[in-house]
């Protein structure tokens, strides 16, 4: 029943956003598109964080998704944006699943550093392969969306809608997963993996699941971003990309799905304006912003919204949702 309600909320959000998009100027549509796309990658990291993992290599899956989406048109003549997104997602997920068994043997900073190393190796490979445009990257033919071709007039809005829909669906699926038994198990693994194993469940499998979901979302994000930008480059796999994504993840916290997209949007706005109006100090601005958030919002933006009134309910009968946080 809860999942039904969040489904309803998701639909509502989608409709509202699509309508709101109509009013927004092109640059804003694009900004939201980009931030939502990034939001997906961040959502992946958040899922992983919530499952007890930390990654500094999300850029790897971001890049995999992006390059997949960029190459299928030239290699297999796939023009449809949705199809490209699906492929990008699957490719990233597949690679993620390949590495998961290896990675789940590690925790904390080692896990993070290993993902970092992997993504930097991919970065190296991409920068080398002249077939893939080397360090300059490659441009992507504008996609068609469900048969529609994109002109300069409608391109932003169509992509905007597509991104909104994908993000909302992904967000809803994640919220369903967070409510699920596996989702609760992920939280437990984060809290006390050894105990989980003493209960006969596999902490590693749980972490692996989180990681694969993280990879899938990274791929989706990359695929959308690639088509919105019309260009992909090895930088996507660089550690700085991952670093910013992780930052947004921390900014958002792992409490609520929408917080992730809010955080992503917030950073996108701060970045794009600060970069334009004080080009010489935008890193400084970003850094200060980060520190303040980490200092005053340790739980991330997700903690800005009071947890549903369950604490007031008579504890005997209260049935808290596993995914809602503690006060």
Partner 1 sequence: MNMPLLSARGLMKRFGAVVAADNICIDIPAGQRLSVIGSNGAGKTTFVNMVTGYLKPDAGRIVLDDHDITRLSHQAIAGMGICRSFQIPMLCLELTALENLLVAVAAAEGRQSLWQAADRPAARDRAVALLEKFQLQSYAGRPVMQLAGGVRKLLDIAMALARRPKLLLLDEPTSGVSADEKFPTMERVMAAMQDEAVTILFVEHDMEIVSNFSERVIAFYSGRVIADGSPTEVMANPDVRSYVTGGAK
Partner 2 sequence: MNSFKLMGKTRGRLASMLAAASVLTLAGAAQAEETFKLGVVTFLSGPAAESFGVPAANAAKLMVEQFNKGSAPAPYNKAGFGGMKIEMILVDENGGGAKQVQELRNLYQRENVDAVIGYVGSGDCLAVAPVADELKKFLVLFDCGSPRIFEEASPKYVFRTASHAAMDNVSLVRYLKSHNVKVNTMNLINQDYAWGLDSRGDFLAGMANAYPQAKMGADLLPKFGAGQYGTEVSVLGGKQADITYSSLWGGDLQGFLLQGAARGLFKDTTLVLSAADHVLPGLLDKMPDGSIIGARGAYGILSAKSPINDWFQASYQSMHKALPVQAGYRMTQAFMGVKMAVESAMAKNGGRKPTPEQIAEAMRNSTFDTPGGQIRMALGDGHQAIQGTAIGKTKYDAASKRVLAVDVQTFGAECVNPPANMKSMDWIKAGFPGAKCN
Partner 3 sequence: MDAVAYASWLFIVSLGMTLVFGVLKILNMAHGSIYAIGAYAAATAVALAVSLGLPPAFSLVAMLLSAVAVAVTVGPLLERGLLARYYGRDEVVLLLVTYALFLMLEDVTKLVWGVNPYYVSEPAQLFGNVLFAGMRIGGYDLFLVGLAAVCGLITWYVLNRTTSGKIVLAVIHNPEMSASMGVNIQRVYVVAFTVGVFLAALGGAFTAPMISVQPGLSVSVIIISFAVVIIGGLGSIQGAAVGALVVGAARSLAVHLMPEIELFSIYLVMAAVLIFRPEGLFQSVKARLI
| Residue 174 beta carbon to partner 1: minimum distance, rounded to whole angstroms | 11
- Cα–Cα distance, 256 to 282 (Å, whole number): 29
**Residues 93/216, Cβ–Cβ less than 8 Å:** yes
DSSP state of 172: H
Which among partner 3, partner 1, partner 2, none contacts residue 121 (Cβ within 5 to 8 A by kind)? partner 3
| Residue 169 beta carbon to partner 1: minimum distance, rounded to whole angstroms | 14
- The contact set with partner 2 (CB under 8 A) reads 2, 5-6, 9-10, 12-13, 16-17, 20, 23-28, 30-32, 34, 127-128, 130, 133-139, 142, 152, 155, 168, 171-172, 175, 179, 225, 229-233, 235-236, 238, 256-259, 261-262, 265, 269, 272, 275-276, 279-280, 282-283, 305, 308, 321, 323-324
Q: How far is CA 228 from the centre of its chain?
A: 16
120 touching partner 3, by CB under 8 A:
yes
Query: Judged by CB under 8 A, which of 98, 102, 148, 169 binds partner 3?
Result: 102
In the window 29-88, what residues touch partner 3 (CB under 8 A)?
49, 54
| Residue 108 beta carbon to partner 2: minimum distance, rounded to whole angstroms | 28
11 touching partner 1, by CB under 8 A:
no
Separation in Å, CA 2 to CA 32, 62, 247, 312: 28, 31, 30, 19
- Cα–Cα distance, 313 to 203 (Å, whole number): 32
- Cα–Cα distance, 187 to 176 (Å, whole number): 14
283 touching partner 3, by CB under 8 A:
yes
192 touching partner 1, by CB under 8 A:
yes
185 touching partner 1, by CB under 8 A:
yes
**Residues 155/142, Cβ–Cβ less than 8 Å:** yes
Query: How many of the chain's residues bind partner 1 (CB under 8 A)?
Result: 38
129 touching partner 3, by CB under 8 A:
no
- Cα–Cα distance, 320 to 101 (Å, whole number): 33
| Residue 33 beta carbon to partner 1: minimum distance, rounded to whole angstroms | 28
3-state secondary structure of 138: strand
Which among partner 2, partner 1, partner 3, none contacts residue 308 (Cβ within 5 to 8 A by kind)? partner 2
DSSP state of 311: G
Separation in Å, CA 210 to CA 108, 206, 251: 14, 6, 19
Run of H or E including 149? strand 148-149
Q: How many CB atoms lie within 10 A of CB 205?
A: 15
Lookup: tokens for 213: 């979901």
- Cα–Cα distance, 222 to 70 (Å, whole number): 10
In the window 304-323, what residues touch partner 1 (CB under 8 A)?
310-311, 313, 315-316, 318-322
In the window 261-280, what residues touch partner 3 (CB under 8 A)?
280
Phi, psi (5° rounding) for residue 298?
Answer: -55, -35
161 touching partner 1, by CB under 8 A:
no
Lookup: tokens for 307: 């947890």
Query: Judged by CB under 8 A, which of 8, 76, 110, 198 binds partner 1?
Result: 198
- Where on the chain is the footprint of partner 3 (CB under 8 A)? 49, 54, 102, 105-106, 108-110, 112-114, 116-118, 120-121, 123-125, 127-128, 194, 239-240, 243, 246-247, 250, 280-284, 286-288, 290-291, 294-295, 298
């Amino acid at each position: 029943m809860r999942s039904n309600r969040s489904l309803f909320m998701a639909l509502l959000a989608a409709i509202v956003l699509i309508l709101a998009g109509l009013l927004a100027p092109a640059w804003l549509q694009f900004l939201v598109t980009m931030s939502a796309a990034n939001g997906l990658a961040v959502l992946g990291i958040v899922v992983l964080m919530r499952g007890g993992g930390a990654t500094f290599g999300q850029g790897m899956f971001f890049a995999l998704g992006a390059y997949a989406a960029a190459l299928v048109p030239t290699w297999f003549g796939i023009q449809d944006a949705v199809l490209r997104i699906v492929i990008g997602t699957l490719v990233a997920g597949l690679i993620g699943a390949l590495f998961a068994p290896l990675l789940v043997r590690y925790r904390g900073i080692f896990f993070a550093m290993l993902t970092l190393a992997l993504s930097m190796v991919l970065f190296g490979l991409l920068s080398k392969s002249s077939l893939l445009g080397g360090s300059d990257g490659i441009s992507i033919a504008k996609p068609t969306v469900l048969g529609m071709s994109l002109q300069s007039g409608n391109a932003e809005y169509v992509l905007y809608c597509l991104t909104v829909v994908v993000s909302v669906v992904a967000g809803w699926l994640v919220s369903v997963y967070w409510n699920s038994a596996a989702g609760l198990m992920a939280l437990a693994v984060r809290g006390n993996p050894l105990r989980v194993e003493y209960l006969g469940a596999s902490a590693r499998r749980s972490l692996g699941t989180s990681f694969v979901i993280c990879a899938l979302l990274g791929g989706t994000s990359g695929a959308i971003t690639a088509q919105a930008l019309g260009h992909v480059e090895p930088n996507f796999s660089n550690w700085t990309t991952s670093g910013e994504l992780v930052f947004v993840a921390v900014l958002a916290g792992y409490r609520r799905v929408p917080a992730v997209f809010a955080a992503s949007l917030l950073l996108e706005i701060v970045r794009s304006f600060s970069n334009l109006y004080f080009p010489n100090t935008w890193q400084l601005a970003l850094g200060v912003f980060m520190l303040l958030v980490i200092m005053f919002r340790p739980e991330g933006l997700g903690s800005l919204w009071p947890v549903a009134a369950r604490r007031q309910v008579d504890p005997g009968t209260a049935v808290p949702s596993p995914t809602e946080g503690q006060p």
